[in-house]
Structure 1
């Protein structure tokens, strides 16, 4: 074992040197013309490479750690025990590495470190390839170093590696998450165990960065990855969840029309069953040459993680797996609402079974067995989610509200992996706007704020013009094209949330310039009134039917909120010049914003076109007017009452159908011509969809009506049917577990219990309970100093806080309380 010197503890502010080399299964493709290395480059296709290194230890180690990363994804085993998966989602030029303690996994004698590295070849919804210009970044690559007591083991050409043929992709892939095809016959059993003979494997190739001036560098930092960054977030994990076998039948075996496992499963499901099968595990299948065994499994809720099928099958037996978020419906087959996720397993002929490499989210699974005999013993998922820690909770004397709190937390949980995602079932994209709701829920329900910080850091990846991508680390950012501008304003709100809850000035300072760039991008669309007009690119705000063309009250107000929040952060950092600039723009916007006020109806309208105020008004317009501070305070209460009046609210979406599906024709229509209202614009107000409701509820609370929130939140109960315990994407349609819908958890503790930071970094707490009709309620939220807890029974209140408290009674009077436990009565 090598004993090269290696600095384990880098000095603060310095990048740790790496002794490990970048290695690959074989030399990656290199452009023939060296002058082409400044751009472009040829990416290898999808592949998985296996790496092994055997080492003999004279004794079990006292300490042993390993750090590693890969392009694009790895799974690490030591002596056959899975240690971890990574790296965390990141742009290739900000590649992350992981570090693990592997002391317990090593023993005296022979040990083996084994890694499988996946390279996707083309951008996915959660990974983007590196830019061209080097041999690195074009193919599967690994760098690692293991320190065992005082000795060092690094990746170099002493490792063995092969490019595996066991995993492939279907030839006729559909849009969606990758479909795994795993032929176990092409993978040697025990390849990651001690005792496996790897003498026929080639030695790994050491890969050098090959750009002009690289001088053959093979160790990090190297282009295109640069200095490798620590993971920055906790490692993922979760429970093992077993599915219930719901039904079984034998179907005729069709002539396959596709190589896709999902398409094949659909073919079988589309044929009438030949005979039923008892829905009791284990299920034997004799291997009828003309038939296919179909088993339907139900996890009872949306789960997200690594699928394992417990099956003993004859060599060459095929299993098609089809994952669904909802029960199979032939009418929805192959539609945009039907996620295209699944896998194929071809048995080796032992009892190893199928263990997925990719992470999938679903509730229902269809297992189709054909081409050989098998016994299916069960299906399970090892959830692979971000940890939830601490003592946060909410309870009250209304079980429906308690269920809503728990469902909101679970909705964020299944959308928290190595980034906040929109949904685990269809995309797993890190949308820059969606994630502000996930962040707010985590800040109020989870003591691990790593992902809340990571949201801001990961999304800080602006285009050259200053605006952020609509989704980061994936094919959307990689393409560098169209963006949703207002998503960047949600990102500024996320930065402000961290200012309030965490108050890390160094972190805030690192991201302030990007926030300014976003605000300046919008300022290019200022009109002579100081408001925003004809903002380019995709203006979304919410899936509700909003009018955002012409002079936009909604975009102006969201931008103005960003200006206020930016100014507040800049002042806290001593950057008073930037703060004055932002406040000056806010004041101009406030004056021009009066043009959107419809005094007759007591509402702010959505937009003005060619100087003509238009009638449509939305919850979004009124709420944004309040949270931005553009509406005079004396109007807030009336606006809040108007935009929450159930007699005036109407549910409308430009893209949602009443049958729960997406209206793709109408989505296309938006690209061709302006849309028109199909509701009474004079008397009706378009309600916000679940996402933008977090702004609506902020506005209601600011206007002094937080006591109404328990009733407003009951709308979310419509999602909790048929066993689902997560919130769906929109009112009546969309995916059943969408993270952007999870605002009730934050609202119940921050607005109803009223626990919020009283000063930046939660150095003090502000507690303003507004229980409404609730008599008994209690809860706790995390703070950097410990949980802040409130318990209410009638008018009696108990407060437990590690920091000073400003307690605001319902009548508006305040009390200042020192840290500790207190008993008081509501006034």
Structure 2
């Protein structure tokens, strides 16, 4: 029985759901846009603020589509007649600013209607992935009947007000002030401070009196000067996010006795002049927009803290199920009650949590907490893969990997769900592969590859994360972008995909070539090479030592890896000259790395020519690039896993260790490489960690997709299900099992679902496999291949031994 089977109460918010009309294909492009960007006339700059917009209009024909485009800077929430519709826009940059396209017909009624939009500017400490020009909104009618709600700023019918109740609450992680979080770098949005005494309650409903609101003011055109003077618009290319109602678990700890199991059973009343603290344990990490409904409690302060885990006396984590003598340290929202009935608070940005703590102080009036739920946020592309084996540890690892990927697949790939929420290249290479295995859908991966391509600077550097309003450059991640294109092509076989990025590949590799020195090893750069979170006193914050990567063998071999992938890609499109150029250059570097860094006494590669540092990473990459002869790779792999003084590959880099095991064909070593995940399960984690625990680098993020790679290899390697041609039009199923003897699962693909039950005994493979009519291929076992039949069939292959 899986230890992480938790009951989710997921209810539809409304019988009516909304979809993005331009997904999966563009139907309503930017050529339909005639509206302009508008704002409130008193908005002057990029200060943190919330602006509320309303437009009241009449509808006679309820049968006609009412299609609009909508976008905003920084973020919007859309309501029609008081009903929440969606939020956006999809994350992108100014040159490719996204708009949503929606049909509001089903939310309208005969006669008078209101469309209401809240636009949030998170201010100077906004999320590092969020580019911004000015607090503004653009709403455009696509169908003729919807043009009456176009934002123009010139005699249109939109009115607005500044929501004086809102203030951005900066999450303190550096400086002299008390820290709000444990773990350092925070790049997510500020949280909220809301004074309900200044909040225009029911502003989004039809009957609200907006007569004192101001007419909106024109900011900029949305369709001129080659796109716009401000934002260059393009349609959203991924589906809308979910807004599912998820039940939040009951109180597990309280500073004083409580008479109810809030929020599960009924309301919770706190008397006047009361201070109370209580802790909720969701039992698993989740994310979304928690909603608190409450009444009375004039001037009461409600602080809601959110965290992935609890901390002990020395900020240790330990068993996540143990709460005794542990405290919650995390970001928080603060609300001041206005004393009225049916007040509602929903944060302006997603929260991630397993634990939630309320700190409440009432004044002269009792406070009644009536309801607390979560609106869960994920992509609406279904994640339906299933995996079960005869080893419960593997089953549990799969569950925490899957939950991590599901949480972090929004309208882009999140590097983690709590601290940063950015789309990093190195992280996304792994997350994209796992997500494709879980969903059978590659649209998020293709979106990420395209956005990274758009980030390239004049030197050929792909930004380390993108979209981005900062400048993170990790030259190794530029190389990983090339690897991502190779991954996608190897699955899809789509040569047009190579042609779309071939110029970018050339530019990126030419840029990296400038980093090479006369030894055919890498030089220092103004930027930081990132390989892994090394541990040890001399770690270089991403490199093995503090020498800025000078002469690093592993970084040089990452360049080789990208060159080899590029050579293959250009060979596939018959550009033999470029293919040969990259192949030869890769071999030159391999020769130098072997000559300068291979230690023939230890039969290991050192991390650099002075042979003072030895790590798993360099030797893993030596296998993957054939920097060592193939007949010596198995012996090197054994050394990688058994030499205790090697700097260890952490969760991130073990993706490449798993790849090396697969390349060498040593499935019996997979379980050894996976051992660090067992500690997560033993600590009752429900999602995957960012890095190994150490004194100088304590674990931080608990929802980190780069650590979810086992789930990918369970399908791709242990079950052996791989695309051979045209994105699973042809497959091979070549199970290797590792320590497992039985594997049962479902793998979604773009051509349909593959269901499988695989079982091995000493001398045979027994398999029950269901494939759609759109898929063909072979079942392979110990050198014997037999064709797969359409539909559900049973197969038996005896060993030749």
TM-score, normalising length: structure 1: 0.81
Give yes or no for contact 2:139–2:149 (8 Å, CA) kept in 1.
no
Query: Which residue does the alignment assign to 2:297?
Result: 314
Shift of 1:330: 5.7
The reply to whether residue 532 of structure 1 matches residue 522 of structure 2 is: yes
Aligned runs of 1:530-569 on 2, under 5 Å?
530-545=520-535, 546-547=544-545, 549-569=549-569
2:770 equivalent in structure 1: 800
Matches within 5 A, 1:758-797: 758-759=724-725, 761-794=727-760, 795-797=765-767
- What's the CA shift for 1:86? 0.5
Partners of 1:821 and 1:280 in 2: CA distance: 48
- CA change 1:573–1:357 in 2 (3 A) is same
Matched, 1:345 2:344: no
**1:361 maps onto 2:343 in alignment:** no
Alignment of 1:287 with 2:272, yes or no, is yes
CA distance in 2, matches of 1:818, 1:561: 37
User: Matched residues in 2 for 1:628 and 1:814: separation?
Assistant: 28
Over aligned residues, Cα RMSD in angstroms? 2.9
Say if 1:243 and 1:11 are closer, same or farther in 2 by CA, change over 3 A. closer
* Secondary structure, counterpart of 2:149 in structure 1: strand
Unmatched 5+ residue regions in structure 1? 1-6, 30-42, 131-136, 210-215, 250-274, 650-683
Residue of structure 1 aligned with 2:512, choices 517, 522, 525: 522
* Distance in 1 between residues matched to 2:29 and 2:268, nearest whole Å: 58
Question: What is the deviation of 1:57?
Answer: 1.3
Residues 145-174 of structure 1, C-alpha deviation per residue, up to 9 Å, x if partnerless? 253768653223321112221211248955
The Cα of 1:784 is off from its aligned counterpart by: 2.2
Structure 2 contact 169–190 (Cα < 8 Å) conserved: no
Once residues 140 and 330 of structure 2 are traced to their aligned partners in structure 1, the CA distance between those partners, rounded to angstroms, is 34
Which 10-residue stretch deviates more, 812-821 or 631-640? 812-821
Deviates most, 216-225 or 85-94:
216-225
Per the TM alignment, residue 529 of structure 1 is displaced from its structure 2 partner at its CA by: 4.1
> Is 1:757 matched up with 2:723?
yes
Instruction: State the shift of 1:605 in Å.
Output: 1.6
1:155 counterpart residue number:
151
Structure 1 residues 768, 617: closer, same or farther in 2, change over 3 A?
farther
Which residue number in structure 1 is paired with residue 632 of structure 2? Answer: 635
Correspondence for 2:538: none
Residue 83 in 1 paired to residue 85 in 2? yes
Do structure 1's residue 235 and structure 2's residue 235 form an aligned pair?
no
1:624 aligned counterpart, secondary structure: helix
Q: CA deviation at 1:578?
A: 2.9
Give the Cα–Cα distance (whole angstroms) in 2 for the partners of residues 129 and 586 of structure 1. Answer: 37
Deviation of 1:192 (Å): 0.7
Deviation track 1:514-556 (CA, whole Å, cap 9, x = no partner) reads 3332222221122334333435521221102424733222111
1: CA distance, partners of 2:328 / 2:304: 15
Residue matched to 2:667? 706
Alpha-carbon distance between aligned partners in 2 of 1:423 and 1:218, rounded to the nearest angstrom:
37
Q: Which residue of 2 aligns with 1:469?
A: 463
- Return the offset for 1:788: 3.1
* Deviations, residues 754-786 of structure 1 (Å, cap 9, x unaligned): 111213533422322101332221223233222
Q: What is the alpha-carbon distance in structure 2 between the residues aligned to residue 340 and residue 503 of structure 1?
A: 45
Distance change (3 Å), C-alpha of 1:590 and 1:629: same
Offset of residue 70 of structure 1: 0.7
Once the two structures are TM-superposed, the CA of residue 191 in structure 1 deviates from its matched residue by: 0.9
Partner of 1:491: helix, strand, or coil?
Answer: helix
1:409 alignment counterpart: 402
Q: What is the DSSP-based 3-state SS (H/G/I as helix, E as strand, rest coil) of the residue aligned with 2:674?
A: helix
Q: 2:90·2:99 contact (CA, 8 Å) conserved in 1?
A: yes
Distance in structure 2 (CA, Å) of the matches to 1:725 and 1:484: 30
2:590 is aligned to 590
Q: Structure 1 CA distance, aligned partners of 2:778 and 2:555?
A: 34
Match of 1:401, SS? helix
Change (3 A) 1:161 1:640: same
Output the CA distance in 2 between the equivalents of 1:199 and 1:218: 33
1:619 aligns with 2:585: no
| Residue number among 290, 314, 324 corresponding to 2:307 in the alignment | 324
* CA–CA separation in structure 1 for the residues paired with 2:158 and 2:225: 15
Do 2:119 and 2:135's aligned partners in 1 also have CA atoms closer than 8 Å? no
- CA 1:344–1:159 in 2, change beyond 3 Å: closer, same or farther? same
Alignment correspondent of 2:431:
438
Q: Which residue of 2 aligns with 1:742?
A: 708
Matched, 1:456 2:449: yes
Alpha-carbon distance between aligned partners in 1 of 2:206 and 2:421, rounded to the nearest angstrom? 36
Distance 1:51 1:139, change over 3 A: same
Identify if the C-alpha distance between structure 1 residues 624 and 237 changes in structure 2 by more than 3 Å, giving closer, same or farther.
Answer: farther
Structure 2 counterpart SS, 1:685: coil
Does 1:396 find its partner at 2:389? Answer: yes
User: Partners of 2:161 and 2:742 in 1: how far apart?
Assistant: 63
Secondary structure of residue in 2 paired with 1:169:
strand
> Using the alignment, how far apart are the partners of 1:11 and 1:357 within structure 2?
29
Structure 1: distance between partners of 2:734 and 2:22: 48
Counterpart-to-counterpart distance in 2, 1:424 and 1:181: 21
* Residue in structure 2 matched with residue 183 of structure 1 by the alignment: 195
- Per-residue CA deviations over 1:24-71 (Å, capped at 9, x if unaligned) read 111654xxxxxxxxxxxxx42111111111111124234222221111
Moved more, 530-539 or 444-453: 530-539
Question: 1:723 Cα shift?
Answer: 4.2
Residues 354 and 391 of structure 1: CA distance in aligned 2, closer, same or farther (over 3 Å): closer
Measured against aligned partners, the alpha-carbon deviations of 1:770-827 in whole angstroms (never above 9, x if no partner) come to 01332221223233222234321222123434433244423x4445556655524153
Q: Please name the residue that 2:320 is paired with.
A: none
